[in-house]
A and B are shown apart, each in its own frame.
Chain A
Amino acid sequence: DAEITQSPRHKITETGRQVTLACHQTWNHNNMFWYRQDLGHGLRLIHYSYGVQDTNKGEVSDGYSVSRSNTEDLPLTLESAASSQTSVYFCASSESAGTGTYEQYFGPGTRLTVT
């Protein structure tokens, strides 16, 4: 069965360190997204990609970067982790235009703590 996975599921890191969160999907979806979820804010879009070599900034992109070298993976990098980046991170993917509901399939999430 197709799925979307994230690793690690839990991560504790120190302020200033570079951290990379992995996201891998086997849906063969062109569209992939990274969100963070904080109490009282719902899901906020960090970065997104509509295909290989395409990356775009979302509403809370400062301090984060992504790269898309293949269809399956969209790693999220925190260049220099800050305590404000302590959050739960969700990766999602969806089909492209003209097919279905545009519903996003979410990964299980990564809980990141920056100390």
Chain B
Amino acid sequence: EDKVVQSPLSLVVHEGDTVTLNCSYEVTNFRSLLWYKQEKKAPTFLFMLTSSGIEKKSGRLSSILDKKEPFSILNITATQTGDSAVYLCAVRYNFNKFYFGSGTKLNVKP
């Protein structure tokens, strides 16, 4: 059965810390992996990854994919309270369908 598993389920850190969020998956017909940030409402897009070993970076956030294992990580450096959110990992398979993980809830304390 196809699945996407995120870890940890929740995380509490202090401002300035670096965090690593994990997403492993078992999905047939893998096409790409996407990361979203959800702050009490609709998820918003962060990154899309299709190739192993190529890091995507946006400010303090970065992500990389390993298709061999397979998994992806999302790193956030110098965390801020505004980074507090649920981070969702989604795997696109077949044409344009997605499996979502259950998310990692990040709480950044001042």
**Which A residues lie at the B interface, using CB under 8 A?**
31, 33, 35, 40-45, 48, 50, 58, 90, 94, 96-97, 101-109
Contact = CB atoms under 8 A, between A and B. Distances in A.
Contacts of A43: 43, 88, 90, 98, 100
Contacts of A94: 96
Q: 10 shortest A-B CB distances, which residue pairs?
A: A106-B42, A43-B100, A42-B102, A103-B45, A101-B48, A42-B100, A106-B43, A42-B101, A108-B42, A31-B96
Contacts of A107: 42
A108 B31 CA distance: 26
Interface of B: 4, 6, 31-32, 34, 41-45, 48, 88, 90, 92, 95-103
A45 B41 contact: no
Contacts of B101: 42
A101 B97 contact: no
Centre residue among B95, B96, B99, B103 by max chain A CB count within 10 A: B96
Given A41-B102, A42-B88, A102 B32 contact: yes
Nearest to B31: A102
A102 B88 contact: no
A97 B100 contact: no
A109 B88 contact: no
Contact of B45 (A41, A58, A101): A101
B88 A90 contact: no
A11 B95 CA distance: 33
Nearest to A35: B100
Nearest to A4: B42
B48 A103 contact: yes
B100 A109 contact: no
Contact of B103 (A42, A58, A103): A42
A40 B48 CA distance: 23
A101 to B, nearest CB: 4
